Structure 1
Amino acid sequence: MAIINCPQCAKPISDKHKQCPHCECQVKELNEEQLQSMQREQRIRKQQRYMNQSFLALILFLGGFFCLYFMHPEAKSLQWYGYTGAMAVGFIWYLVSRIVLIVLKKKK
């Protein structure tokens, strides 16, 4: 008995199961073409999720930058720390999500 990933929901299941207990996908009835199609759709959904995260991170970074640039908060004040923190978190989040996207594209 081996543990495999469900082609539809990617959760671990036994290779003896006829259908996935999580999403009820009929695993035994799928041919190779259907399996590849499901895996491709799953990879695309994952890429879209990370793309959305990178856009949110970019918005956070730009929001912090524009607030810092246009509002001119006093140095070392609570607002200044908030805007700089938003910029730092947004920038790091953006970089990490883009690196994950690059890795996902190379796995094809």
Structure 2
Amino acid sequence: MAIVQCPNCNESISSRHKACPHCKTVMGELSAEELAAIAAKNRVKQQQRLLNWSFVALILFLGGFFYLYWRMPAQGSLEHLLGRAAVFIGCAWYLVNRVILVYLKKKK
């Protein structure tokens, strides 16, 4: 008995299971075409999730930037530090997500 990944939901299951207990995918009856379709669907889901996180990171970056631009908090104040932190974290998060997306698209 070995632990394997379900091709549909990527949960760990026993190799003796006939169907995944999480998503009810029948394991023995999947053809190569069906496995490829499931893999493509999972890749698209992951890309969509990364795109959503990229937009959240972009909003964080722009929110921090515009806060610093319009409010102009005093240097060294807590507001200034939080604004700069939001800009830095948002920018880094956005760039990491975009690099991962490019990697996933080239992986096809």
TM-score (norm 2): 0.91
> Taking structure 1 as reference, are residues 58 and 78 closer, same or farther at Cα in structure 2, changes over 3 Å only?
same
Paired with 2:78 and 2:86, the residues of 1 have a C-alpha distance of 12
1:97 aligns with: 97
Runs of 5+ unmatched residues, structure 2: none
Runs of 5+ unmatched residues, structure 1: none
2:107 aligns with: 107
Question: What RMSD, in angstroms, separates the aligned Cα atoms of the two structures?
Answer: 1.3
Deviations for 1:30-56, whole angstroms, at most 9, x for unmatched residues?
111111111100000001001110110
Instruction: Tell me the number of residue pairs that the alignment of Structure 1 and Structure 2 aligns.
Output: 108
2:68 aligns with: 68
Matched-pair identity in %: 49
What SS does structure 2 have at the residue aligned with 1:27? coil
TM-score (norm 1): 0.91
Tell me how far 1:12 sits from its aligned partner.
2.7
Paired with 1:36 and 1:62, the residues of 2 have a C-alpha distance of 39
Q: Which runs of 4+ in 1 moved over 4 A?
A: none
What SS does structure 2 have at the residue aligned with 1:23? coil
